[in-house]
Structure 1
Amino acid sequence: MKKIALVLAIMSVLMMLTSIAGAVELPLRVEVNGERLYFPDEQPFIDSNGRTQTPARFIAEKLGANVTWDGKEQKAVFEKGSKKLVLYIGKTEYELNGEKKKMDTAALLISGRTFVPARYVAEAFDAVVSWDPDIRTVYINTNVKPADKKEGIEIVAGFEVPLDTNLIAVEEDWGGKTEACFEINLLRADVEGQLEDLRQILLQKCDRSTVDEVIAYVSQKKERKYYLPEKYIYDSKSRRYIWISESFMEDISIFYCSATYKRSND
């Protein structure tokens, strides 16, 4: 009887230790060209937008760029060769070689230290960035060039996106659920043009009837405070879902889901 009790006690302790180990979150890692980037004091973290934020100076040095801080204008300026990247604290708008762009997060100032989104800094200097959620690691490769660009076109998750569009288009790996996000904003110029660009982009991979349904649904929102419920539309041509997330204000996000994503009620 005592032996049975001892065995049960040992099993209980092992189960408890396993549970504790499983609850411990792996540290966030950043690797550049296969070499781990160490941060001596402030550590990188994932912000509320799901982006990895790193101390500006250390990632700049690892990418071979110089970074300077303008306290008056609250901006970090990265320079490498002929390229210049300007990130403003708390603003999603940024500048690359004098051209204004927009990202889905912002640089932050925490305890006097400037944190910047690793992906946007690395890609500004032609690095390729990937994320492994299982081991919480950001991989940055400066030796592999991004997908080829045609004149006036950039490649976003396999889609050809015109550089002059007012539609926001970014690669978006949301826990393996999505591949790309396209954002229409009612306060940004030429909403009809944004819709038409979205149509032409989706037609590259999706059936026309699917695209017509997406555009018709999104077009219902004509005022920023009009509530648009979320909607999933299945495309038989690409065998993917188009997920239109719910919209409360001026922005409407349209996600192209990953090949492995399957809705729970299917």
Structure 2
Amino acid sequence: MKKISLVLAIMCIFMMVTSVEAAIVLPLRVEVDGERLDFPDEQPFIDANGRTQTPARFIAEKLGANVTWNGKEQKAVFEKGSNKLVLYIGKKDYELNGQKKTMDTAALLKEGRTFVPARYVAEAFDAVVSWDPEIRTVYINTKPKPTKKEGTEIVAGFEVPLDTKLVAIEEDWGGISEACFEVNLLRANLEGQWDDLRQILLQKCDSSTVDEVMAYVMQKKEREYYLPDKFIYDKKSGRYIWIKESFMEDVNVFYCSASFDISEE
């Protein structure tokens, strides 16, 4: 009898603990690049469509974007580099870089604060979003590792063909750059080097920027031709492309770091 009573007592305790655990709801969290995003007043929540809604200003700032509110048109406008996202309160239709799109939820107003779906805002600026339901956490990665294709290698985030005659290296040059691409007029397959340079830069830069870079560097057709220093700003990446002056047969193109600002030089 005592054994049965003991078993029943243990079962009761187990059921009580289980009930308490079931009653505990973990707070909804948002992490950007491994850092928890703090919300000082209004907290994020999961809407009726299963999407995580966050206060617009805080997620925009963490993603490095500017956000403005148009009360007359009831819309929030996010801008970063050449990317522009427009979300309308209560509407599933939205705009990304001028193109009309549709999502499965909508931005909304709550307690006078604009809330926006975290996934759509983050993905508009090329971030990768994942969700862990067990710990109710949204993970946003603004620097996803590129997928390496067969026959290529990753250099400072760029996918570079293994068979290229172009030299591609990670290079900080005193904190100025992230990568350097060198074309050499005396190296085999010059046209292939120019083409590889174009394709590599297009991975992160706007096509108009790349066209300007290529038009400049390809002026160098002979070893003795002097090519002066030139900095070209790319709105898409928010980076400068630095073509280093060339006295000899080599042409060096640097993809500058995010912290580099030509105005400080």
TM-aligned CA deviation for residue 45 of structure 1:
1.0
Is the partner of 2:12 in helix, strand or coil? helix
> Does residue 1:40 correspond to 2:30, yes or no?
no
Structure 2 unaligned segments of length 5 or more: list them.
149-265
- Tell me the alpha carbon deviations over residues 149-198 of structure 1, each in whole angstroms, 9 at most, x when there is no partner: xxxxxxxxxxxxxxxxxxxxxxxxxxxxxxxxxxxxxxxxxxxxxxxxxx
Query: Mapping of 1:149-168 within 5 angstroms?
Result: none
- Once the two structures are superposed, residues 190-222 of structure 1 have per-residue CA deviations (whole angstroms, 9 ceiling, x without a partner) of xxxxxxxxxxxxxxxxxxxxxxxxxxxxxxxxx
AA in 2 matched with 1:98: G
- Residue in 2 that maps onto 1:119: 119
Distance 1:11 1:105 in 2: 44
- Alpha-carbon shift at residue 28 of structure 1 (Å): 1.3
Q: Does 1:82 align with 2:82?
A: yes
Counterpart position of 1:216? none
Match of 1:100 in 2: 100
* 1:145, distance to aligned residue in structure 2 (A): 6.0
Cross-structure match for 1:58: 58
Q: Offset of 1:108 from its aligned partner?
A: 0.5
- Deviations 1:71-116 (CA, angstroms, capped at 9, x unpaired): 1110111111111111000011111112111111100111101000
Distance of aligned partners of 1:93 and 1:142 in 2 relative to their CA distance in 1, 3 Å threshold: same
Distance 1:90 1:2 in 2: 63
The 1:5/1:20 distance shift into structure 2, 3 A limit, reads: same
One-letter amino acid of the counterpart of residue 59, structure 1: I
The equivalences for 1:1-266 within 5 A come to 5=5, 8-9=8-9, 11-144=11-144
Which residue is 2:179 aligned to? none
- Indicate the residue corresponding to 2:240 in structure 1: none
SS of the residue aligned with 2:18? Answer: helix
The offset of 1:10, in angstroms, is 5.6
Max Rg structure: 2
Q: TM-score, normalised by structure 2?
A: 0.51
**Could you say what the CA RMSD is over the residues aligned between the two structures, in angstroms?**
2.2
Q: Which runs of 5+ in 1 are unaligned?
A: 149-266
Structure 2: how far apart are the matches of 1:48 and 1:145?
A: 32
SS in 2 for 1:85: strand
Give SS of 1:131's match: strand
Between 10-19 and 137-146, the greater mean CA deviation after superposition: 10-19
Q: Which moved more, 1:18-27 or 1:62-71?
A: 18-27
- Residues 110/66 of structure 1: CA separation in 2 closer, same or farther (3 Å cut): same
Amino acid at match of 1:61: E
The 3-state SS of whatever aligns with 2:67 is: strand
Shift of 1:66: 1.0
Q: In 1, Cα distance between the equivalents of 2:88 and 2:147? A: 27
Question: What is the distance in 1 between the residues matched to 2:58 and 2:46?
Answer: 17
Give the distance between the partners of 1:36 and 1:88, measured in 2 at CA: 27
> Shift of residue 122 of structure 1?
0.2
Write the distance in 1 (CA, Å) between the matches of 2:24 and 2:123: 31
Q: 1:127 to 1:28 in 2, by over 3 A?
A: same
Deviation beyond 3 Å, 4+ runs, structure 1: 1-11, 145-148
CA deviations on 1:26-54 (whole Å, 9 max, x unpaired) are 22111111111121111111111111111
Confirm or deny: 8 A CA contact 1:127 1:146 kept in the other structure: no
Q: Distance in 2 between matches of 1:135 and 1:142?
A: 21
Q: TM-score by structure 1 length?
A: 0.51
Counterpart code for 2:93:
E
